[in-house]
């Protein structure tokens, strides 16, 4: 059951935040407020997204930073079109299977791909922004000068201490005097503030063709890394057409590969073979259907997630009738292979305004603290997206120069009657698609409003593919799942079950925003 409060003898779920002029939902209160202020100044959803995203890059660098990537879905009410911007970066020029013959590196100067988020901001602002570029970074600069440490970041400094403290840049910032900062301690990043001022004044050229990229490249090379300033020069994000499928009369739209989005659509296609009544009934039976859909979809599609410029996925086949029939049969019969589930660090944004325009963004450094490699010359913590590659030359995601790695990032836009109905995002590695499917099914199949759908217990999988159940599930549910072929273990928190930042646009135009309490997440509206 969802967590509930008592009111006059009635049990009700936590209420979402409502707005009629604008709504921002993100991974931190300071970031959400920064975006809302932009909307109040007359900015549009793209302006607000950039301001929100930049603040997140300052205060949650263990999850997202200027050294990371982003996938962006933007819906225009005027045109009725949804478009995607792939702002993920590529591998350095020297990245080959031979160079990484001993395996991809999870931390350090060999772990990061060229980050795409900063040029992604500029690309979408040039096309759709309203306010001047320079006016979008004041809150991020102020946060870099001084802000209270996130409690989640404070906890991560203990959990990942060995990796993070081993890096001189991270150690100087987060372990002053050899002790980790605590939640609420003041963090000052003057070098990062200066970096943001350069970006505000000179645009993304300061990052990719100017001092910032050169500093990161030089520091990488000095420490044995592959990336150089030349790898930054000329980087371009890519405009893409979202993939879509129909789920019970709703048009669900996601990013194409190298995003995992197609795996969410395959799960929804698989679940379309059973009725909403079946998915709203007995808890164990419902969860079993969801698990079967995930396992079958991942087994069929996960190995195709790669850079489509070099290894295009057979999308027509993966979303076609024959595959859908096979997946639906797997849901009914219980056939499922096993798979693994790496964990990650990610932050998310959903924003909408009264015009009907909306944006859904997932941005990340991948694993918590990314590469744990912070350039002292820019204050930027780098990603570890190179771990999205493999060293097998025959694999679709084989590492190669200037190739983009596979990405678990999965922003979602759901339309109903041609208008945005839901904006959906969550961190959680490959579990992003699993979480999004569960919450969408809660709303569509079970009739829940947004906040209740998010609060509902969830399931996921761990590193060896074992099913994990939220502690809120009953022992009876766990026992029945085991009898269905799904032995489970117990877990709690956002590490496995995500941290949803989502919106619902009601038929009357009112915006409802809800943020998961499994991690820091906030909704604000006007």
Instruction: Inform me whether the pLDDT recorded for 339 exceeds 60.
Output: no
Q: Write out the CATH class of domain 242-344+410-525.
A: alpha beta
Cα–Cα distance between 38 and 140 in angstroms, integer? 12
Cα–Cα distance between 118 and 252 in angstroms, integer? 27
Secondary structure of residue 490 in the 3-state scheme: strand
**Tokens at 500, concatenated:** 């949803």
**Considering all CA atoms of the chain, what is the largest pairwise distance in Å, rounded to the nearest integer?**
68
Residue 503's nearest CA partner among 426, 423, 432, 444 is 423
Residue 164's nearest CA partner among 146, 182, 180 is 180
- DSSP annotation of 415: E
pLDDT at residue 463 in the model: 60
Burial of 262-281, coded b for 16+ CB within 10 Å and e otherwise, reads bbbbbbbbbbbbbeeebbee
Write the CA distances from 50 to 99, 118, 123, integer angstroms. Answer: 36, 9, 11
Domain residue ranges of the chain, discontinuous segments joined by +: 14-239+345-388, 242-344+410-525
Find out whether 384 and 367 touch, Cβ atoms under 8 Å: yes
Cα–Cα distance between 458 and 468 in angstroms, integer? 9
Angle formed at CA 305 by CA 302 and CA 306, multiple of 5 degrees:
150
Instruction: Inform me whether the pLDDT recorded for 342 exceeds 50.
Output: no
**Tokens at 382, concatenated:** 């780098």
Q: Nearest 10 degrees: CA dihedral of 127, 128, 134, 137?
A: -120
pLDDT at residue 7 in the model: 38
Instruction: Inform me whether the pLDDT recorded for 88 exceeds 90.
Output: yes
Residue 388's nearest CA partner among 16, 90, 187, 40 is 90
pLDDT at residue 499 in the model: 84
Instruction: Inform me whether the pLDDT recorded for 288 exceeds 60.
Output: yes
pLDDT at residue 518 in the model: 79
Burial of 104-133, coded b for 16+ CB within 10 Å and e otherwise, reads bbbbbbbbbbbbbbbbbbbbbbeebbebeb
pLDDT at residue 338 in the model: 45
Residue 64's nearest CA partner among 74, 53, 73 is 53
Please name the residues in contact with 419: beta carbons below 8 A apart, sequence gap of 6 or more: 77, 356, 505
Residue 455's nearest CA partner among 6, 16, 8, 7 is 16
Average model confidence (pLDDT) across the chain: 92
Cα–Cα distance between 497 and 519 in angstroms, integer? 10
Average pLDDT over residues 60-87: 97
- DSSP annotation of 306: S
Q: Which of 114-128, 414-428, 462-476 is predicted with the least confidence, judged by mean pLDDT?
A: 462-476
Cα–Cα distance between 51 and 108 in angstroms, integer? 29
Cα–Cα distance between 192 and 482 in angstroms, integer? 50
With residue 267 as reference, give the H or E element that holds it: helix 261-271
Instruction: Inform me whether the pLDDT recorded for 11 exceeds 60.
Output: no
Confidence of residue 430 (pLDDT cuts 50, 70, 90): confident
Instruction: Inform me whether the pLDDT recorded for 112 exceeds 60.
Output: yes
pLDDT digits (tens, 9 = 90+) for 307-317: 999 999 999 99
Q: Is 402 left (phi over 0), alpha (psi -120 to 50) or beta?
A: left
Average pLDDT over residues 307-336: 93
**Tokens at 401, concatenated:** 């120069």
pLDDT at residue 466 in the model: 75
% pLDDT > 70, the chain: 94
Confidence of residue 340 (pLDDT cuts 50, 70, 90): very low
Instruction: Inform me whether the pLDDT recorded for 290 exceeds 60.
Output: yes
Confidence of residue 491 (pLDDT cuts 50, 70, 90): confident
Query: Among all chains, which residue has been given the structure tokens 């922003």?
Result: 411
Confidence of residue 202 (pLDDT cuts 50, 70, 90): very high
Confidence of residue 274 (pLDDT cuts 50, 70, 90): very high
Instruction: Inform me whether the pLDDT recorded for 5 exceeds 60.
Output: no
Please name the residues in contact with 10: beta carbons below 8 A apart, sequence gap of 6 or more: none
Confidence of residue 495 (pLDDT cuts 50, 70, 90): low
Cα–Cα distance between 348 and 361 in angstroms, integer? 6
Find out whether 514 and 505 touch, Cβ atoms under 8 Å: no
Q: Is 284 left (phi over 0), alpha (psi -120 to 50) or beta?
A: alpha
pLDDT at residue 259 in the model: 96
pLDDT digits (tens, 9 = 90+) for 116-166: 999 999 999 999 999 999 999 999 999 999 999 999 999 999 999 999 999
- DSSP annotation of 15: P
Residue 422's nearest CA partner among 407, 402, 440, 405 is 440
């Amino acid at each position: 059951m969802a967590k509930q409060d008592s009111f006059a003898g009635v049990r009700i779920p936590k209420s979402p935040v409502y707005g009629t002029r604008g709504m921002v939902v993100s991974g931190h209160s300071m970031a959400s407020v920064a975006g809302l202020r932009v909307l109040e100044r007359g900015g549009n959803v793209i302006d607000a997204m950039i301001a929100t995203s930049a603040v997140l890059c300052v205060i949650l660098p263990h999850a997202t930073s200027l050294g990371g990537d982003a996938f962006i879905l933007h819906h225009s009410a005027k045109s009725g079109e949804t478009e995607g911007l792939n702002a993920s970066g590529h591998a350095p020029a020297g990245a080959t299977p031979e160079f990484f013959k001993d395996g991809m590196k999870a931390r350090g100067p060999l772990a990061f791909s060229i980050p795409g988020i900063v040029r992604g901001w500029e690309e979408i602002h040039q096309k759709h922004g309203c306010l001047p570029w320079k006016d979008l970074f004041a809150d991020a600069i102020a946060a870099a000068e001084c802000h209270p440490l996130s409690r989640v970041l404070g906890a991560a400094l203990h959990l990942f201490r060995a990796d993070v403290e081993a890096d001189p840049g991270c150690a100087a910032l987060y372990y002053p005097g050899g002790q980790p900062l605590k939640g609420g301690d003041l963090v000052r990043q003057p070098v990062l503030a200066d970096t943001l001022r350069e970006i505000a004044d000179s645009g993304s050229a300061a990052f990719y063709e100017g001092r910032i990229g050169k500093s990161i490249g030089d520091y990488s090379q000095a420490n044995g890394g592959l990336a150089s300033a030349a790898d930054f020069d000329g980087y371009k994000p890519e405009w893409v057409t979202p993939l879509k499928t129909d789920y019970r009369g709703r048009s669900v739209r996601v990013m194409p590969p190298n995003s995992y989005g197609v795996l969410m659509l395959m799960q929804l296609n698989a679940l379309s073979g059973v009725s909403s009544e079946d998915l709203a009934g007995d808890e164990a039976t419902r969860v079993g259907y969801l698990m079967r859909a995930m396992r079958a979809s991942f087994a069929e599609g996960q190995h195709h997630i790669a850079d489509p410029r070099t290894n295009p996925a057979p999308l027509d086949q993966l979303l076609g009738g024959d595959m859908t029939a096979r997946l639906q049969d797997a849901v009914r019969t219980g056939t499922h292979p096993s798979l693994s589930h790496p964990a990650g660090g990610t932050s998310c944004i959903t924003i909408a305004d009264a015009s009907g325009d909306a944006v859904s963004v997932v941005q990340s450094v991948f694993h918590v603290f990314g590469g744990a490699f912070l350039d002292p010359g820019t204050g930027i913590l780098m990603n570890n997206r190179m771990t999205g590659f493999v060293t097998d030359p025959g694999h679709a995601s084989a590492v190669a120069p200037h190739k983009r790695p596979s990405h678990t990032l999965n922003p979602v836009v759901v339309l109903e009657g041609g208008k945005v109905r839901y904006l959906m995002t969550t961190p959680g590695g490959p579990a992003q698609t699993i979480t999004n499917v569960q919450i969408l099914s809660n709303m569509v199949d079970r009739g829940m409003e947004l906040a209740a759908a998010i609060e509902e217990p969830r399931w996921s999988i761990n590193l060896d593919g074992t099913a994990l159940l939220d502690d809120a599930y009953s022992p009876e549910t766990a026992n029945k799942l085991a009898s269905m072929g799904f032995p489970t273990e117990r877990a709690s928190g956002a590490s496995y079950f995500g941290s949803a930042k989502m919106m619902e646009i009601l038929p009357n135009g009112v915006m409802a925003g809800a943020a998961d309490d499994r991690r820091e997440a906030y909704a604000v509206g006007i």
